[in-house]
Amino acid sequence: MKKIITIILAGVLIFSVPVFASAQKDITVSSHIPLYKYKYARGGVVTYLPKNAIVNYQSGGKVTFRGKTGYTSLYYYFAPVKSNGWVTAVTKRQAVALVSPGKGGGNYLNMNTVVRIKPSVKRKGYVQTAVFINKKWVWCRWIKPSNLIRVDGYGYGSIAVFHYL
């Protein structure tokens, strides 16, 4: 009986240990990001990531995109697709990310610009938005949801680029 209980407890202990090498779905916010063969930008370039590419980003800068795996140190050019209530979206037409909803002033965004939105925070028909400007996220902007397409349902290896019809 002791052996059975010991085996059961050992099994529970093995399955209760968290996995440390976690991966997350990210999207690139800039174009031409190099993936190197080895860490710290050593080795040759395996491939270059296009803008709005949805990649598998793992700890240590390891990135997988369309079957090619490499390393990058340019982590600030990636945005998580889902994180703490924020969801990544892409603008489907030219839009303005306003400083305050319903009033003027803000950032002009071109089509296919990656933004992060918080769908749970809405005001006057606008949704709270973060915009990537000069290698950093500018928070507390507002944009109409009709100007965006969410990319949280897209699979790995996709490129979220839209064209005029």
DSSP secondary structure of 40-108: TTEEEEEEEEPTTBEEEEEGGGEEEETTEEEE-S-GGGEEESEETTEEEEEESS-EEEESSTTSS-EEE
Higher pLDDT, 157 or 15: 157
* Per-residue pLDDT at 163 exceeds 60: yes
* Per-residue pLDDT at 147 exceeds 70: yes
The predicted-structure confidence for 43-85, as pLDDT tens digits, reads as follows 899 999 999 999 999 888 899 999 999 998 888 888 899 988 9
CATH of 20-80, one of 3.40.390, 2.30.30, 3.30.70, 2.40.50: 2.30.30
CB 14 within 8 A of CB 8: no
pLDDT of 114 reads 92
Ranking 11-15, 42-46, 161-165 by mean pLDDT, the lowest is 11-15
Kindly report the pTM of this predicted structure: 0.76
pLDDT of 10 reads 55
Domain boundaries, the chain: 20-80, 82-150
Q: Residue with structure tokens 């982590």?
A: 75
* Per-residue pLDDT at 120 exceeds 90: yes
How confident is the prediction for the chain on average, in pLDDT? 84
> Whole-angstrom Cα distance, residue 12 to residue 125?
49
Query: 3 in helix, strand or coil?
Result: helix
